[in-house]
Amino acid sequence: KNEVEQSPQNLTAQEGEFITINCSYSVGISALHWLQQHPGGGIVSLFMLSSGKKKHGRLIATINIQEKHSSLHITASHPRDSAVYICAVRSYGGSQGNLIFGKGTKLSVKP
């Protein structure tokens, strides 16, 4: 079993829909990251969380440390949101860069 599990693996949505991507992890963590990888391969860091909730534009990330679960929400989705969304965690005792990655959720937003 992977230490970081994402669901769904693939998601197709219509423009304007509210989207939720889930991330569950089995290790104690000190931080969780959400990353976005575009079809060209470039990766952008969206959020870094250790507790609570963060919002940036149409994106919202939440984390529940007790339940070892995080969600990434996209409101009013748009075709340009189409990308792979990756959850990554830094485990307790792990070094600053030693992230454990989920396999990603491929999102396709249709116009």
Partner 1 sequence: GAGVSQSPSNKVTEKGKDVELRCDPISGHTALYWYRQSLGQGLEFLIYFQGNSAPDKSGLPSDRFSAERTGGSVSTLTIQRTQQEDSAVYLCASSLEGLMNTEAFFGQGTRLTVV
Residue 107 C-beta: closest distance to partner 1, Å: 16
Residues within window 12-71 making contact with partner 1, judged by CB under 8 A: 30-31, 33, 35, 40-45, 47-48
Query: Long-range contacts: 49-52, Cβ < 8 Å, 24+?
Result: none
> And the tokens for 46?
């969206």
By the 8 A CB rule, do 102 and 8 touch?
A: no
Task: Please give the Cα distance from 15 to 76 (Å, whole number).
Answer: 7
Kindly tell me which residue out of 52, 103, 108, 110 binds partner 1, with binding defined by CB under 8 A.
Answer: 103
Task: Please give the Cα distance from 103 to 62 (Å, whole number).
Answer: 19
Kindly tell me which residue out of 63, 83, 99, 107 binds partner 1, with binding defined by CB under 8 A.
Answer: 99
- By the rule CB under 8 A, 95 interacts with partner 1: yes
Residue 9 C-beta: closest distance to partner 1, Å: 11
**CB of 66 or CB of 95, closer to partner 1:** 95
By the 8 A CB rule, do 60 and 54 touch?
A: yes
Report the interface residues with partner 1, using CB under 8 A.
Answer: 30-31, 33, 35, 40-45, 47-48, 86, 88, 90, 94-104
